[in-house]
Amino acid sequence: MKHHTLLASALIGVVASARSMTPMATISAARLLGRSTPGRLALLDRPLFRLGALVLGAGELFGDKMKTAPDRTVFLGLLARVMSAGIAGAALAPRGREPSGAVAAIATAVPLAYVGLDIRKNAMQRIGQTRSGLMEDALIVAAGVAIVALAVSSKSRS
């Protein structure tokens, strides 16, 4: 699938707004399955980075349900979103447009983190932290997988 727009980059920013590590985990999983991203990013070809991204992605899904989990808009939460969205946005951008892809993803992730936090807090009041978190996880992980699956190609076709 040819991509000439930054749509995949912006959409992965939506994912990063809710789960900071999911964009990198889904891209790492795709790379492990032999897929390549449109944008060049040597970082994704390092096995230790791929494993770390997968572990952090899984850990975040568990940690989010803890009563002591910080809001996604605290400084470190936003920093993680900026970094993950930037890396993932660059990887999903068309070749040669990686910086623009990073900017598109970050510009989507940061403001939507605030919107998502408000939605999540309302859901927590209604159905609790764990149930609302599991529902958000299912939606965000599915979105991340779908976005990455549509944006990547098999290495044999690249």
What are 59-99's pLDDT values in tens digits? 888 887 777 878 889 999 999 999 999 999 999 999 999 99
Helix or strand run (H / E) with residue 93: none
Residue 118 lies in a domain: yes
pLDDT on residue 154: 56
Residue 32 lies in a domain: yes
What is the C-alpha separation between 92 and 151, in angstroms, rounded?
6
**Number of domains, the chain:** 1
- For 47-65, b/e burial (b = at least 16 CB within 10 A) is eebbeebbebbeebbeebe
Residue 2 lies in a domain: no
Dihedral sign computed on CA atoms, order 155, 44, 136, 65: positive
Residue 19 lies in a domain: yes
Is the CB of residue 144 less than 8 Å from the CB of residue 12?
A: yes
Residue 121 lies in a domain: yes
Q: Is the pLDDT of residue 156 over 50?
A: no
What domain range includes position 105? 7-151
Share of the chain above pLDDT 70, in %: 93
Amino acid, res. 75: F
The one-character DSSP state at 71 is: P
Is the CB of residue 113 less than 8 Å from the CB of residue 72?
A: yes
Tens digits of residue pLDDT in 124-147: 999 998 899 999 999 999 999 999
What is the C-alpha separation between 85 and 93, in angstroms, rounded?
12
Residue 63 lies in a domain: yes
Is the CB of residue 25 less than 8 Å from the CB of residue 56?
A: yes
| Helix axis angle, 22-32 to 129-151, nearest 10° | 40
Average pLDDT score over the chain: 89
| DSSP secondary structure letters along 100-120 | HHHHHHHHHHHHHHHHHHHHH
Residue 156 lies in a domain: no
Residue 51 lies in a domain: yes
For the chain, the straight-line distance linking the first and the last C-alpha, in angstroms and rounded, comes to: 10
pLDDT on residue 9: 97
Which pair of tokens denotes residue 137? 């996880």
